[in-house]
Amino acid sequence: DTLAVRLYSMIHTAGEREVSALALCLLGLAIAGIALLTGLIALASRRRRAS
């Protein structure tokens, strides 16, 4: 079985609460990653302007 099938079966067997919690966790990680990237880019641009 492929990874997609495994994920689908995992989601299907797990309760909706677990799935929604996992989705929220992934969403939070994505937001944190984007915020970190934008912060690093802003810091890099500031350093370039200073020098």
Contacts of 1 (CB under 8 A, 6+ apart): 9
How far apart, in whole angstroms, are the C-alpha atoms of residue 35 and residue 41?
Answer: 10
Torsion of CA 14, 15, 19, 22, to 10 degrees: -80
List the domain boundaries for the chain.
24-51
The tens digit of pLDDT for each residue in 1-51 reads: 798 898 888 777 777 777 788 888 999 999 999 999 999 999 999 998 887
Q: What was the pLDDT predicted at 30?
A: 96
pTM: 0.54
